[in-house]
Amino acid sequence: MYYNSILETIGNTPLVRLNELADDIEGTILVKVEYFNPGQSVKDRIGLKMIEDAEEQGLIEPGGTIIEGTSGNTGMGLALAASIKGYNCIFTTTDKQSKSKIDLLRALGAEVKVCPTDVEPDDPRSYYSVAKRLSEEIPNSYYPNQYDNPSNTQAHYESTGPEIWEQTEGNVTHYVAGMGTGGTISGTSKFLKEQNEAIKTIGVDSVGSVYKKYFETGEFDKEEIKPYLTEGIGEDIIPSNMDFNLVDAVIQVNDKNALLTTRDLAKKEGLFVGGSCGAAVYGALEYARNNDFGKDDLMVVILPDSGTRYVSKIFNDEWMAEQGFIDSEE
């Protein structure tokens, strides 16, 4: 038995029960471990889908160049699909991202341009603006724009949602996901709520992002925007893939709680995952403890990526001590 290419191994990731971290909770908490994808993150699903949809719509021709602003994981998903399908990739990212994430993209043949984090999205130096400008300048290029591309949400509507429904045999009652572009939460939630409208969707945001206040008040408040370290969740814009009508509650998690939970996931559950996974699990546990979450309830939490990309940060004691998240002798 074999696959025709690595792309056929995307999806069908395992659901795993949380044990020690959830031992005070009566109901069941399962995590969906997306690092089993070939690019080691949930974003393989959308990388492939955005390229295939663009091919179908005639938006990219053979030998073309894919240009995207990406924090690394989407780049990896796009680069994997592009390497099999024969496209070039140019990615713009911010100086907040792990060096190892950028090296990984280069390993798959992509060109990576690092842009400053501390500028407004519409500043010409921002990674959004640079990606957009390059896509206008380079002929036969395609700018997937994961923030506003409906193929992002659709990938999760077609794969992540049905997988969770089947793997839980329709018994899922709560769904938890971090919110970055919004594709994961919106696409999966849409599918799950169509199967059973009682399913509750909980979005996890980072302190320093505009999402929580926007969800609660409808107000886009720039005052909420602060620098933070948890990579992949929270935004300073409201992308069109983020559909708050499909979200029932939003929990904001700070860096310390997110990153310490990430370390606990490795030490106590053997789950070596990234910082947004720690945030998602912290948010999930907080929700389960403070809301009506009983013994028959079944929560599924998305763990978007792997810890390998954060070895020099979250899993480095010196770095964690410098941030004030652990004591230096710990």
Q: Which C-beta is closer to ligand PMP: that of 134 or that of 185?
A: 185
Q: Encoding tokens for residue 110? A: 């992509």
Q: Which C-beta is closer to ligand PMP: that of 154 or that of 181?
A: 181
Which residues would be at the binding site for ligand PMP (CB under 6 A)?
71, 73, 178-185, 231-233, 274, 276, 304-305
Q: Encoding tokens for residue 318? A: 């010196």
Q: Cα angle at 95 between 115 and 49, to 5 degrees?
A: 75
Q: Which C-beta is closer to ligand PMP: that of 87 or that of 157?
A: 157
Cβ of residue 180: shortest distance to ligand PMP, in angstroms?
3
Q: Which C-beta is closer to ligand PMP: that of 168 or that of 189?
A: 189
Max CA separation in the chain (angstroms) = 58
Nearest residue to ligand PMP on Cβ basis? 232
CA-to-CA dists, residue 183 to 24, 125, 244, angstroms? 31, 25, 11
Number of residues assigned to the chain:
330
Among candidate residues 151, 146, 141, the one with its CA nearest the CA of residue 61: 141
Q: Cα separation of 40 and 32, whole Å? A: 13
CA-to-CA dists, residue 259 to 71, 75, 136, 168, angstroms? 18, 23, 38, 28
Cβ of residue 38: shortest distance to ligand PMP, in angstroms?
16
| Neighbouring C-beta atoms of residue 154, cutoff 10 Å | 19
Residue 190 among the catalytic residues: no
Q: Which C-beta is closer to ligand PMP: that of 28 or that of 230?
A: 230
Run of H or E residues at 299? strand 298-303
List the 65-69 sheet strands across, edge first: 111-115, 88-94, 65-69, 141-142
Q: Encoding tokens for residue 13? A: 């990731």
Q: Which C-beta is closer to ligand PMP: that of 44 or that of 231?
A: 231
Q: Encoding tokens for residue 76? A: 């990896």
Residues whose CB falls within 8 Å of the CB of residue 136, separated by 6 or more in sequence, listed in order: none
Buried b (16+ CB within 10 A) or exposed e, 84-102: ebebbbbbbbbeebbeebb
Q: Encoding tokens for residue 50? A: 């955005």
Residues whose CB falls within 8 Å of the CB of residue 244, separated by 6 or more in sequence, listed in order: 214, 215
Active site residues: 43
